[in-house]
Amino acid sequence: MSRATSGGTGGGLLVAGTTSDAGKSVVTAGICRWLVRQGVKVAPFKAQNMSLNSFVTQEGAEIGRAQAMQAQAARVEPTALMNPVLLKPGSDRSSQVVLMGKPVGEMSARGYHGGRQEQLLGTVLECLAELRGTYDAVICEGAGSPAEINLRRTDIVNMGIARNARLPVLVVGDIDRGGVFASFFGTVALLSPEDQEFVAGFLVNKFRGDVSLLEPGLDMLKNLTGRRTYGVLPFQHGLGIDEEDGLRVSLRGSVRESEVSAPVGEDILRVAVCAIPLMSNFTDVDALAAEPGVVVRFVDRAEELVDADLVVVPGTRGTVRALEWLRERGLADALARRAAQGRPVLGICGGFQILGEHIEDEVESRAGQVEGLGLLPVRVRFAREKTLTRPVGEALGEPVEGYEIHHGVAQVTGGTPFLDGCRVGEVWGTHWHGSLESDGFRRAFLREVAAAAGRRFVPAADTSFGSLREEQLDRLGDLIEEHADTDALWRLIESGAPTGLPFIPPGAPA
């Protein structure tokens, strides 16, 4: 049955969390998929995202991959409106600030929270208002915890936006890590009275066992806070969507959390991904992990490359730093030995640049002239303008599409053309992220890898990465539909937080 909001402004909800990685991204995607299946025109939104996993929209804007996947859950095209502020860490203390899909400079954490963040609140609210004027509902995702009391003054992604846009807040807690009741209560109790008015209730995530054993605690939580729990989502393996940061799992979860599907041929194929510093878009290997018989693991030691049939050097926000790290750990020498032996290596974006002969960087690391690994005839110069495109082409006789996010401009001086990069022997390099999601190309590439590795591996003829993603998003929608009080959720989205919610002391410190 179709649901629609009244008036000219769509409904909204902010999904906050007791901690980072509580499940905000997954819950937001699940709610989006549930709503669109009900006939609701819905969009995701995250005011400010800190992530090295990003995506390029059709209009050439860079946004977080999590928001792109949430847009897919909502069955809409992602745009910069859905993630107006993206922070891409370059070190522990500074990040590149991407505003409305375009980089506007590097900034320290102190500088950002010292004033720049507050200046962006107007932009963020304008984007949210535009989305709410277009869609029946906008499901917003918070960041970290709304009870970061040291950052509340400059907050534009949690309670700052909830109060300004008058959004009801649903707090998600990960019960699998323990302490969920204390986390729920403490989150509310550390908010000011004005902020607490918008916290409607809670959602328990990753529960294992008999829900009836949890219910007394949920009743006590309601008595203590005056706020109900809107659902208890069971723990399920491999349910993550594209992650924001860290070495966590998205579709890779099907490899790291559950058994790898049996191979079609006689052999499995082992893929080792170098876990380089500031690794970006590690989701590029999700499509490999989705193939039956392909085992993907992330490695940081040279000896772990020995039995790999394919080594991937992924993207990075710090190409020169990653190059130094590979040399320090002996991985650079291991890659050179592989190349000399005719064993497959694939470099993607920053990894492609690392495999080249020479890097000139006065932009990212400001290291100047740096020698690469010399495995590909490529010279790279970092430009201040960032390349943000959605290329389409052909490779290995198959259509391919992807996206590019990089400052490095590659001059290819030899080898066999491969997408925008080149191939020499069994060393491959390209700036294209996402190319392995093209099913025919991925199968052709894996056949080449298997032949070079001497493996009797056969790619499955019917693996569709796009279909697997849709199935995963439907599973997220099923979780919400089957384990949350969807009627109550819709009332929140349509009408806002209940009135008369009690204040829980002590509240935010003055």
Length of the chain: 510
Q: CA-based angle 472:473:479, to the nearest 5?
A: 95
- In single-letter form, the type of residue at position 103 comes to P
Q: Could you confirm whether 422 is annotated as catalytic?
A: no
Answer left, alpha or beta for residue 454, where phi above 0 means left and psi between -120 and 50 means alpha: left
Give the residue among 9, 19, 328 at the shortest CA–CA distance from 165. 9
Residue of 349, 406, 407, 483 with catalytic role: 349
Residue 454 is encoded by which pair of tokens?
């001497």
* Cα–Cα distance measured from residue 289 to residue 124, given in angstroms and rounded to the nearest whole number: 36
**Cross-sheet strand order for the sheet of 102-108:** 48-50, 85-89, 94-99, 102-108
Give the residue among 136, 183, 141 at the shortest CA–CA distance from 162. 141
* Cα–Cα distance measured from residue 250 to residue 238, given in angstroms and rounded to the nearest whole number: 7
Residue 301 is encoded by which pair of tokens?
């030691």
Phi and psi, residue 70, nearest 5° = -65, -35
- Give exposure, 149-158, as e/b (b: 16+ Cβ within 10 Å): eebbebbbbb
Residue of 407, 431, 433, 483 with catalytic role: 433
Q: Could you confirm whether 433 is annotated as catalytic?
A: yes
For residue 432, CA distances in Å to 228, 363, 365 come to 46, 21, 22
Helices and strands (H, E) in the chain, number of each type: 17, 27
List residues with catalytic annotation.
Answer: 349, 433
